[in-house]
Amino acid sequence: MGRITKIIILDDERDADLLVWLEKQANQSAAVRAAMRAYIRLNNGEGREATVREAVEAVLPDLRETVAAAVREVLANYRIPAAEYNGEEDPELAARLDAQLKEFFGEE
């Protein structure tokens, strides 16, 4: 069983989305192989549901951290307009929010 090297050329503007996706992959070769196989299966008329399921299962291990990072980023940049905030916090609402955030982020 031999290994074969193939070179692809990507345009930094036209293929920017591909470059961003590729850079995020822990194993870029495996990610490209999986994407190519999914494309082939879809174009050969194989079940879209099975292909989508396989693609989702491939990213599930990173999904929790991806969502958590997105939520952290949104919360870090969110500012309540001064007219809507009077400086007082509803203790019951704050406690419920704290509990939900701890559960979401897996904290005890």
Residue 7 belongs to some domain of the structure: no
Residue 50: CB partners within 8 Å, gap ≥ 6? 41
8 Å CB contact between 16 and 22? no
Q: How far apart are CA 74 and CA 88, in angstroms?
A: 22
Which residues does 51 contact at the CB level (< 8 Å), separation at least 6? 38, 41, 42
| pLDDT score at 14 | 93
Residue 76 lies in a domain: yes
The predicted pLDDT at position 53 comes to 75
Residue 2 token pair: 């031999």
Q: Report the half-sphere exposure of 8 (CA within 13 A, side-chain side).
A: 12
> Can you tell me which residue has the tokens 């008329």?
45
pLDDT tens, per residue, the chain with 108 residues = 788 888 999 999 999 999 999 999 888 988 898 888 888 877 776 667 777 777 777 777 777 777 788 888 888 877 766 666 666 777 888 888 888 888 877 766
pTM: 0.42
Q: Which domain holds residue 62?
A: 16-104
| 8 within a domain of the structure (yes/no) | no
Count: domains in the chain = 1
Residue 18 confidence (pLDDT)? 92
